[in-house]
A = this chain, B = another copy of it.
Amino acid sequence: MSEDRTAEIVLSLEIDDAALADRLAALLGNVAGLRLAAPGEHAAATIIARDPRISPADIALTQRELDVLALMAEGASNKMIARQLGISVHTVKFHVGSLLDKLDATGRTDAVAHAARRGVIEL
């Protein structure tokens, strides 16, 4: 294998908070067996800390809306969703309409993108 288990583990940092980044860099710089990545260098793992103020509001979606949303993210049509959930196409469209409303989206593609951005669903 190309993996050398004696090699240093290379870590890259993606941290919004500069103070936190400095503290982490200082701490990790003294640990034997791992190393911070040089700019552009491929890292085995990345340490991420995003500004939490960006995504505080998780939208209030009902269970059924979450079901529909998940299938939408899989690219399923209203008809397929209806079959999958054992409900009529009209009901699916009803839930999709609610989702477009709550997610402030103009269409199902936009809805999935918004939901993914806000962490409501995982792609």
A11-58 with Cβ < 8 A to chain B: 11, 15, 19-20, 23-24, 27-28, 30-34, 44-49
Chain B residues closer than 8 Å to A44, beta-carbon distance = 20, 49
**A77-118 interface bits toward B, Cβ cutoff 8 Å, 1 = contact, 0 = none:** 100000000000000000000000000011111111110110
For the complex, what is the distance from the CA of A11 to the CA of B45, rounded to whole Å? 13
Whether A117 contacts B110 in the complex (CB less than 8 A), given A27-B9, A34-B24, A49-B44, comes out as no
Q: How far is the CB of A9 from chain B (nearest CB, A)?
A: 6
| Contact, CB under 8 Å: B109 / A47 | no
Partner of A33, one of B27, B34, B74, B77: B27
